[in-house]
Amino acid sequence: MTTPRVFVARLAGCAVFDPAGDRVGRVRDVLVVYRATESPRVVGLIVEVPGRRRVFLSIGRVTSMASGQVITTGLINLRRFEQRGGEVRVLAELVGRRVHLRGASGAPAVIEDVAITESGPGEWTVDQLFVRKPRAVPAPFTKGQTVFARWADVVEDSSGSQPQSAEQLVAAYNDLLPADLAASLLELPETRRMEVAEELSDDRLADALEEMPESDQVLLLSQLDDERAADVLDQMEPDDAADLISQLPVNRGEALLDLMEPEEAEDVRFLLSYDSDTAGGLMTTEPIIVSADSTVAEGLALIRRHELAPAIGAAICVTLPPYESPTGRYLGMVHFQRMLRYPPHERLGTILDNALEPVTPETSAAEVSRRLASYDLVSLPVVDELHRLIGLVTIDDVLDYLLPDDWRSADADAHVLPPLRRRASVAVQKADHGVA
């Protein structure tokens, strides 16, 4: 009988099922420990369960790893995973590591994948390494030769002269939503986190940054050079970029603004002119804006764009020209559900929601929260003293304001709701008494 062999890179993202066939999570990494004279032993899997919590699944609880799925005994400890001394995550720390092949040549290579094999009931060990050797003569668009090697045939490069390759790990993160990508990055050792951040595209890193706590945003951005940091800020939503820059030292913030694209920097500077607890400080400057003569068909086409945030796509703003903020006079909003009730050729100007009063940039966050809650809205338009549209406050930005600072942490699950209720109650009381 052939001994089962599983490649870890292919295992990442696979569903984990209990014996009844119910899915309990997804594999995010494999945990091993080194041994003195033998290849590393697998101690368990890191599994992501609902709620974006990473937990440890002992290898002894795994009954099968085949056909792109993992079957368990059904017993999973939901305590948050914490890495112990001596444990090594295969995808996060081993894949991409530089090694030297034993022998006369001592050729350098990079680990691109790791195969694990079942060595006994409930026991798995590292079987082989899939490594790539560099080309003798570098050439564009080509890679070196790939070979399989036993663990005993390689020696790890401990010189630290070159950063660890993160290409394979980034590929494993390809299917993660921005919030999950942010959580995965924050779980990595700091050095490895920066190696992965350098490998991510600007827009992908921007998405992850938007989902991180402010302190982690600042820490990561501070380790990027100014050119790369400015490119990433260009890809962020203007309100998120403004929030991040406001946390940086003034000199660094100004330097990054000078390096950003002029249009993006202008929006960010505009948002920085408002206090963070006002509609101006919470709003985005990029709502969907159309003319009154635009049709329902045109409006629906605009909100179908893949890159559009759901809260922004929930309604379309109608104004007089020009159609970029600050626009001409604001006329009203059309919610997407209302558009669905009318024929494609209907003009948006005839189905405006005129009952919804916009707010000003000086309106307090407390009052904005009250209005969104009172009228079951996901966004509110923001107008200036000339009734020109300058932005849109969305429910996700208000939630960021209301939730405690550590709400993104899995450890905050038990105490997020009470502070949220208290803060929301205080916000409404302030609005009732006209307190900003």
CATH code given to domain 5-91: 2.30.30.240
pTM: 0.74
Nearest to 389 by CA among 288, 265, 313: 288
DSSP state of 312: G
Rounded CA-CA distance 81/87 in Å is 12
Q: What are the helix (H) ranges across 142-201?
A: 167-172, 178-187, 190-199
DSSP state of 94: I
Q: Which CATH architecture has domain 92-156?
A: Roll (2.30)
Report the chain (436 residues): mean pLDDT per 10 consecutive residues: 77 90 91 90 93 89 86 85 89 88 77 90 90 68 76 77 70 82 87 90 94 91 95 94 94 96 94 93 94 96 88 94 94 94 96 90 94 92 96 91 67 50 46 42
Rounded CA-CA distance 283/365 in Å is 10
Q: Exposed, middle or buried, 376 (CB in 10 Å: 0-12/13-18/19+)?
A: exposed
Q: 25 - beta bridge partners?
A: 16
Q: 318 - beta bridge partners?
A: 290, 332
Q: Collect all residues with Cβ–Cβ distance below 8 Å to 320 and sequence separation of at least 6.
A: 291, 292, 327, 328, 329, 331
Distances (CA, A) of 273 to 8, 173, 187, 268, 283: 49, 37, 34, 9, 12
Domain ranges of the chain: 5-91, 92-156, 175-273, 289-401
DSSP state of 320: S
Two tokens, residue 15? 């569903």
Q: At residue 98, what is the residue type?
A: R
- Characterize the bridge pairing of strands 146-150 and 154-156: unpaired
Tell me what pLDDT residue 190 has.
86
Is 39:121 a contact under the CB 8 Å cutoff?
Answer: no
Rounded CA-CA distance 204/133 in Å is 29
Rounded CA-CA distance 188/184 in Å is 7
175-273 classified as CATH 1.25.60.10:
yes
Q: What long-range pairs does 295-299 form, CB within 8 A, spacing at least 24?
A: 295/344, 295/345, 295/346, 295/347, 295/348, 296/339, 296/342, 296/343, 296/344, 296/345, 296/346, 296/348, 296/351, 297/344, 297/345, 298/348, 299/334, 299/336, 299/339, 299/348
Q: 382 - beta bridge partners?
A: 359, 391
Same fold, 5-91 and 92-156: yes
Q: At residue 170, what is the residue type?
A: V
Q: Exposed, middle or buried, 116 (CB in 10 Å: 0-12/13-18/19+)?
A: buried
The topology under which CATH files domain 289-401 is: CBS-domain (3.10.580)
Distances (CA, A) of 375 to 378, 380, 436: 9, 10, 20
Tell me what pLDDT residue 234 has.
96
Q: Does an H or E element contain 401, and which?
A: helix 395-402
Q: Strand, helix or coil at 48?
A: strand
Two tokens, residue 80? 């948050």
Q: How many other CB atoms are found less than 10 A from the CB of residue 183?
A: 22
Q: 70 - beta bridge partners?
A: 16, 65
Tell me what pLDDT residue 412 has.
53
